[in-house]
Structure 1
Amino acid sequence: MDSRLIALLVCPVCKGPLSREDAAPELVCNADRLAYPIRDGIPVMLEGEARSLDEPLSQPAPLD
Protein backbone atom coordinates (compact mmCIF):
# COMPACT_ATOMS: atom_id res chain seq x y z
CA MET A 1 0.00 0.00 0.00
CA ASP A 2 1.33 3.40 -1.00
CA SER A 3 2.61 5.50 1.91
CA ARG A 4 1.09 8.64 0.32
CA LEU A 5 -2.35 7.04 0.56
CA ILE A 6 -1.79 6.09 4.20
CA ALA A 7 -0.91 9.73 4.95
CA LEU A 8 -4.34 10.78 3.62
CA LEU A 9 -6.33 8.25 5.63
CA VAL A 10 -7.45 8.90 9.21
CA CYS A 11 -9.10 6.80 11.88
CA PRO A 12 -12.88 6.85 11.35
CA VAL A 13 -13.45 6.96 15.13
CA CYS A 14 -11.14 9.74 16.34
CA LYS A 15 -9.89 11.21 13.01
CA GLY A 16 -6.33 10.63 14.21
CA PRO A 17 -3.36 9.43 12.14
CA LEU A 18 -2.88 5.81 11.13
CA SER A 19 0.34 3.85 10.83
CA ARG A 20 1.17 0.63 9.04
CA GLU A 21 3.13 -2.26 10.48
CA ASP A 22 5.13 -4.19 7.89
CA ALA A 23 4.36 -7.53 9.53
CA ALA A 24 0.55 -7.29 9.36
CA PRO A 25 -1.84 -6.17 6.59
CA GLU A 26 -3.56 -3.52 8.68
CA LEU A 27 -3.61 0.17 9.55
CA VAL A 28 -3.23 0.99 13.23
CA CYS A 29 -4.71 3.84 15.29
CA ASN A 30 -2.61 4.06 18.44
CA ALA A 31 -4.99 6.54 20.10
CA ASP A 32 -8.00 4.19 19.94
CA ARG A 33 -5.91 0.97 20.03
CA LEU A 34 -7.65 -0.31 16.87
CA ALA A 35 -6.25 -2.05 13.80
CA TYR A 36 -8.16 -1.80 10.52
CA PRO A 37 -7.57 -4.66 8.07
CA ILE A 38 -6.30 -4.27 4.53
CA ARG A 39 -8.00 -6.79 2.24
CA ASP A 40 -6.92 -7.22 -1.38
CA GLY A 41 -4.98 -3.96 -1.09
CA ILE A 42 -8.04 -2.01 0.11
CA PRO A 43 -8.22 -0.66 3.67
CA VAL A 44 -11.48 -1.57 5.42
CA MET A 45 -12.17 1.57 7.44
CA LEU A 46 -15.22 0.35 9.37
CA GLU A 47 -15.20 0.40 13.16
CA GLY A 48 -17.02 -2.95 13.25
CA GLU A 49 -14.24 -4.57 11.20
CA ALA A 50 -11.41 -3.22 13.38
CA ARG A 51 -9.43 -5.45 15.71
CA SER A 52 -8.71 -4.22 19.23
CA LEU A 53 -5.00 -4.04 19.96
CA ASP A 54 -5.73 -4.77 23.61
CA GLU A 55 -7.01 -8.27 22.82
CA PRO A 56 -4.46 -11.00 22.14
CA LEU A 57 -4.22 -12.34 18.62
CA SER A 58 -6.12 -15.56 18.18
CA GLN A 59 -3.89 -18.61 18.32
CA PRO A 60 -4.27 -21.42 15.79
CA ALA A 61 -5.73 -24.63 17.17
CA PRO A 62 -3.05 -27.17 18.14
CA LEU A 63 -2.58 -30.08 15.77
CA ASP A 64 -3.26 -33.50 17.25
Structure 2
Amino acid sequence: MLDGELLQILACPQCKGDLEYREKEDKLICHKCKLAYKIVDDIPVMLIDEAEVIDE
Protein backbone atom coordinates (compact mmCIF):
# COMPACT_ATOMS: atom_id res chain seq x y z
CA MET A 1 0.00 0.00 0.00
CA LEU A 2 1.32 3.41 -0.95
CA ASP A 3 1.58 6.29 1.50
CA GLY A 4 -1.18 8.88 1.12
CA GLU A 5 1.27 11.78 1.05
CA LEU A 6 3.22 10.13 -1.76
CA LEU A 7 0.01 9.65 -3.77
CA GLN A 8 -0.76 13.37 -3.47
CA ILE A 9 2.53 14.43 -5.07
CA LEU A 10 2.85 11.77 -7.77
CA ALA A 11 1.90 12.73 -11.32
CA CYS A 12 1.99 10.98 -14.66
CA PRO A 13 5.50 11.42 -16.11
CA GLN A 14 4.08 11.78 -19.61
CA CYS A 15 1.27 14.35 -19.21
CA LYS A 16 1.89 15.50 -15.60
CA GLY A 17 -1.75 14.65 -14.85
CA ASP A 18 -3.38 13.00 -11.86
CA LEU A 19 -3.03 9.30 -11.15
CA GLU A 20 -5.55 6.89 -9.67
CA TYR A 21 -4.21 4.29 -7.26
CA ARG A 22 -5.77 0.87 -7.73
CA GLU A 23 -4.77 -1.02 -4.61
CA LYS A 24 -6.28 -4.31 -5.80
CA GLU A 25 -4.12 -4.26 -8.96
CA ASP A 26 -1.20 -2.47 -7.27
CA LYS A 27 -0.96 0.04 -10.12
CA LEU A 28 -1.17 3.76 -10.73
CA ILE A 29 -3.48 4.67 -13.60
CA CYS A 30 -3.37 7.75 -15.83
CA HIS A 31 -6.76 7.98 -17.52
CA LYS A 32 -5.65 10.76 -19.87
CA CYS A 33 -2.68 8.80 -21.32
CA LYS A 34 -4.31 5.39 -20.78
CA LEU A 35 -1.20 4.09 -19.03
CA ALA A 36 -0.80 1.92 -15.94
CA TYR A 37 2.37 2.19 -13.88
CA LYS A 38 3.19 -0.87 -11.77
CA ILE A 39 4.27 -0.77 -8.15
CA VAL A 40 7.12 -3.06 -7.09
CA ASP A 41 7.91 -3.50 -3.38
CA ASP A 42 5.85 -0.38 -2.55
CA ILE A 43 7.85 1.70 -5.06
CA PRO A 44 6.06 3.11 -8.12
CA VAL A 45 7.87 2.41 -11.39
CA MET A 46 7.26 5.73 -13.12
CA LEU A 47 9.00 4.95 -16.41
CA ILE A 48 6.93 5.62 -19.51
CA ASP A 49 8.67 2.82 -21.42
CA GLU A 50 7.68 0.30 -18.76
CA ALA A 51 4.06 1.44 -18.40
CA GLU A 52 1.27 -0.83 -19.54
CA VAL A 53 -1.17 0.55 -22.12
CA ILE A 54 -4.74 0.13 -20.89
CA ASP A 55 -8.00 0.17 -22.81
CA GLU A 56 -10.82 1.51 -20.71
TM-score (structure 2 length as normaliser) = 0.90
The aligned amino acid for 1:44 is V
Unaligned runs of 5+ in 2: none
Considering only CA atoms, is the larger Rg found in Structure 1 or Structure 2? 1
1:23 paired with 2:24, answer: yes
Q: TM-score, normalised by structure 1?
A: 0.79
Q: Aligned partners of 1:31, 1:19: CA distance in 2, in Å?
A: 11
Query: Relative contact order (alpha carbons < 8 A, sep ≥ 6): 1 or 2 greater?
Result: 2
Identity of aligned residues (%): 45
Kindly state the Cα deviation for residue 18 of structure 1 after the two structures are TM-superposed: 0.6
Matches within 5 A, 1:1-64: 1-54=2-55
RMSD: 1.3
